[in-house]
Amino acid sequence: MHKYLVFITLLSLLLSNHIPSTYSQCIETPLFGNLRYQNCPSVDEVSKGSINDKAKGISSSLVDDNNNNNNNNNNNMIQILFNCDKSATPELCNKANIAFNNAATIVSNTFDLKVPLIVNASFVQLCGAFVKCLAGQPSPLGAAAPSRFMPLNDDDGIVRLYPQALVKQFQLPKHPQFAPIDINAVFNSNSSTFWFRGDPPIGKDQVDFEIVLVHEFLHGLGFVNSWDDYINLDNPSSLTPNPSFLFVNPEDSDVKNGTITFTGFQEYILDKFLVLTKDNSSTTLITNKLNQFTPISTNFTDEKDFITAFTKSPQYIETTNMFQNSITRGTLAIRLPDNGDNVLLETSLVPYKPGSTLSHVDFNTFSNTTDFLMRFKAPRQAILDDLTTINGNDPNYTNPIGPKTIRILQALGYVYFIFT
């Protein structure tokens, strides 16, 4: 019996393309706050005895599928932990709650999730509680992101950071420890910009809350790019993947003055498919060059010491070149592995806009197409029940998640439903 279990573990480790890296440290990116490091020791599902639980889960979801001819009721695969601001009216809270669940249904009807996901969904006064809002400036609408990124060895031998929601779908026998929540989502309850199902006709400056949520859920599933300026925060000029460090005490990692061990610039899984359009070469080649600046596991006395060494290195020029690419339209794309099509990413924004640049599709290319959803700006005066004004007037394609967007998520490792 015991031997059999060990055999299964070995077999699934051999079959799996995704093996936890030796680093037992994960990255958490709070929606409004600084990135932090978190210990996430490897968890062994087999010794926990949960293979049986999994089998149960699979058979019950098969039963669901059989009863589910009309794509409804799939939303139990995305569980919404909804919390609403006390100052919002019960009617408004109810509308927001319905929208969260509808958006979850759209996502779980598009992707065949194997393991349920938990979204911590908050509909609250953002200003004051989460962010400082400046008078006269538009207040933020909200955001969503993976709760935790975990380092896994990818099939090309490179360690990449995977969003927790995706790691769960792999059902690995061994995986870094999960946070209790898979996706964090926070939206402003004090905004007249959102339009809710049942409201009077949508105004010309309003956005359908459900469309915004589906967009944000896809960020939470991993539609997010790691290339950013982690060094010159006030005046972006150089892009790298996430610079990863091991700390003696990761929980104290906002104390930036202790010794740090550099473990390399680590890409998110989306970045594996990023190419320079001038020759369709993978930007992982650039990441690899950057990582030759110092041996992996080099210790630096502090963050400043690391930055000084890196900015003086001959590799640094690559990061300023990438910055130039990120503000030049048409330079960077996601290359779909199934047929080699390129999906242009947003590199038109000047000045560079962290969070918008590169983590979205090219605005002009995908306006008026069925892949409009992942543009950096939400569509105004368009509602889910009639997407024809924004999707290139295609009445037959009613999913806000377009075919290329689906294939990007598929490249990351999500399985999608094929409708006949």
Ligand X SMILES: *[C@@H]1O[C@H](CO)[C@@H](O)[C@H](O)[C@H]1NC(C)=O
Binding site for ligand X (CB under 6 A): 83, 120, 122, 125, 127-128, 180-181, 190, 255, 257-259, 261, 279-280, 297, 299, 340-342, 364, 367-368, 394, 396
Least separation in angstroms between CB 273 and ligand X: 12
Cα 341 to Cα 239: distance, rounded to the nearest angstrom: 25
Kindly tell me which of 319 and 391 has the beta carbon lying closer to ligand X: 391
Cα 359 to Cα 375: distance, rounded to the nearest angstrom: 9
Kindly tell me which of 101 and 190 has the beta carbon lying closer to ligand X: 190
String of DSSP letters for 101-129:
HHHHHHHHHHB--SS-EEEEEEEE-HHHH
Kindly tell me which of 111 and 310 has the beta carbon lying closer to ligand X: 310
CA angle, corner 353, sides to 245 and 193, nearest 5?
120
- For residue 264, the surrounding DSSP H or E stretch is strand 260-266
Q: How far is CA 364 from CA 323, 344, 348, 367, 408, in A?
A: 21, 10, 9, 5, 19
Kindly tell me which of 10 and 248 has the beta carbon lying closer to ligand X: 248
Kindly tell me which of 146 and 236 has the beta carbon lying closer to ligand X: 146
Least separation in angstroms between CB 420 and ligand X: 14
Least separation in angstroms between CB 76 and ligand X: 19
Kindly tell me which of 147 and 315 has the beta carbon lying closer to ligand X: 147
Closest listed residue to residue 103, CA positions, set 188, 219, 205, 190: 219
Cα 144 to Cα 216: distance, rounded to the nearest angstrom: 5
Cα 117 to Cα 337: distance, rounded to the nearest angstrom: 26
Least separation in angstroms between CB 63 and ligand X: 29
Kindly tell me which of 61 and 284 has the beta carbon lying closer to ligand X: 284
Least separation in angstroms between CB 4 and ligand X: 37
Kindly tell me which of 128 and 337 has the beta carbon lying closer to ligand X: 128
Cα 123 to Cα 188: distance, rounded to the nearest angstrom: 6
Least separation in angstroms between CB 83 and ligand X: 6
Least separation in angstroms between CB 28 and ligand X: 11
Phi/psi for 100 (5° steps) reads -60, -45
Least separation in angstroms between CB 46 and ligand X: 27
- For residue 391, the surrounding DSSP H or E stretch is none
Q: Which residue is nearest to ligand X (CB)?
A: 367
Q: Which residues pair with 207 in a beta bridge?
A: 194
- State whether residue 193 is helix, strand or coil: coil
Helices (runs of H) and strands (runs of E) counted in the chain: 11, 20
